[in-house]
A and B are shown apart, each in its own frame.
Chain A
């Protein structure tokens, strides 16, 4: 646990624990990327000065307890329904900042309808989408984003598209909706990627603050536990394999969003 330390007068504080992040001990596995992205979201909320008017919508999946870490008002959605709940919240609270934090099973399988329609309506919400190509919480089963050939607890012979279909590129799909103003994919797998991810998340919140439309950031991530790799190896595997199938790119950005100072 970190403690607040008084900054001497002759020194400038260049690093601090984000106000929007609680001091709770993380329940995530060693090497999990959720903790990094939680922190990025908290830093962005701090920098934008919106903590007091932000309402988060938690998913079902490993990040189900995200409200224990991000220090804002929160609701807990049913599996996949976060965009619908966020819609209900934002429509009756248009002056609040509403975001969903969802994994690949939540967003790309059971909640496909909700995310696509929220995007298509141009809901003024921000979605942070963690893609680690596997169901973590339920024990490593196939996700819609699981790569072909990947072994999971429900694809013991590796994902075979003849049996289980193909991995889904959700950001590319969301970018097709008219209501989306910003759709990007980044990878929180090294320092440069983490910085880019933060910029993208900030842009997605700014798009909402300016009332422009739906904005989402997909973040490529790891699951060392269920992939059976150590954290470092998991990051390298993700860069080579997830990165090859899921290109890092900005799939949609309107001129208004582009003009926002990040």
Chain B
């Protein structure tokens, strides 16, 4: 059964919530049940941002999980918080550009992606979120990269539209590093 529970976590402004939303849109476009729930509150402003995305063939019960199957961490505090929580045999995806540390866990798959560096190379450090999402999709295969691209085209805001092609490239670059 196709099923994923993923926490995306980083600083506000890193596109953490949008990466999660895009995954939810892609899942929905492939006929999966999806939930996206942000942690909201004081930490929304300037502090850490995270969201939980669940994609499943089955109707979704709890929209939050204490031990996710996957975690995508954008910064150091998020690694510290979520590394210990990932379920055994799960996936930890690390933005290696901003996180020098290596995970000590041996019971999960850890993938290091220099996402911010690749994003800078593509002309906009803020699209590191798409590099990580591309890598995540390649690592989990929960949705197709094409579905994510189609949804990106649909949901990228007008203000960000000029970055559509770099965003697409970012998805590809991230995916290529995992394949």
The answer to A–B direct touch (Cβ < 8 A) is no
